[in-house]
Amino acid sequence: MCEERRRILVATTNPGKIAEMRAMLGGDVRWLGLADVEEIAEIAEDGATFAENARKKALGYAKATGLWTIADDSGLVVDALDGAPGVISARFSGEKLEGDERTLIDHRNIAKVLELLEGIPENKRTARFVCRLCLARPENVLIETEGTLEGLITTVEIGEDGFGYDPIFFVPGLNKTVAQLASKEKNAISHRGNAIRKLQPLLTELITR
């Protein structure tokens, strides 16, 4: 097994995502975050699809560092809004203003979704969280996976936990919004958890080949 294969960069500054990858993918891998490598100019998430963004980030960081790199892109897709907020989920209500708290943006994004869905009946409020993962080396893409979580958009915020659109994303099978789930419960069903679980056997096969 060559040394390059055992060092994998998770192209994120979010320590939670690195810990999640490490815990779920484990294996004979040294997991690195962006804080562990030389500073690289941020790669814009300006693609038209989650797949494009994940691929662009994974290849971009792999080329810049020479490392195998995993990148993700995720967001909320609402059927009645023709797939919006989609790839602009993080900035659906506008770009972040100076001094804005993340939670403030989350609330504004939620308010916009609820307003656009006003008067839409429950059976037409179907939505999904989507997470696309891409593992690339500098030369090419190695693995791509996608995980989803199906649900319904509520009419009001329910629950205190999680982030982003969690308080308005109702999971019928659990009779709760994602913001009412403990993080372990969320990981077990989430789009990101599902994408990581699909990646795991493919990565193991690749590094033990």
Interface residue list for ligand IMP (CB under 6 A): 72-76, 89-90, 109, 129, 162-166, 178, 190
Question: How many CA atoms lie within 13 Å of 40's alpha carbon, on the beta-carbon side?
Answer: 24
Please pick, among 72, 73, 106, 166, the residue that the annotation labels catalytic: 73
Query: Helix (H, G, I), strand (E, B), or coil: what is residue 84?
Result: coil
In the complex with ligand IMP, the residue whose CB is nearer, 103 or 208, is 103
In the complex with ligand IMP, the residue whose CB is nearer, 119 or 173, is 173
Measured in whole angstroms, the distance separating CA 123 from the mean position of its chain's CA atoms is 26
Sign of CA dihedral 190, 195, 201, 203: negative
* Distance of closest approach, residue 28 Cβ to ligand IMP, in angstroms: 27
The size of the chain, in residues, is: 209
* Distance of closest approach, residue 138 Cβ to ligand IMP, in angstroms: 23
Nearest-10 crossing angle of helices 191-208, 15-25:
60
* Distance of closest approach, residue 72 Cβ to ligand IMP, in angstroms: 6
In the complex with ligand IMP, the residue whose CB is nearer, 69 or 109, is 109
- 106 catalytic, yes or no? no
**Residues annotated catalytic, as ranges:** 73
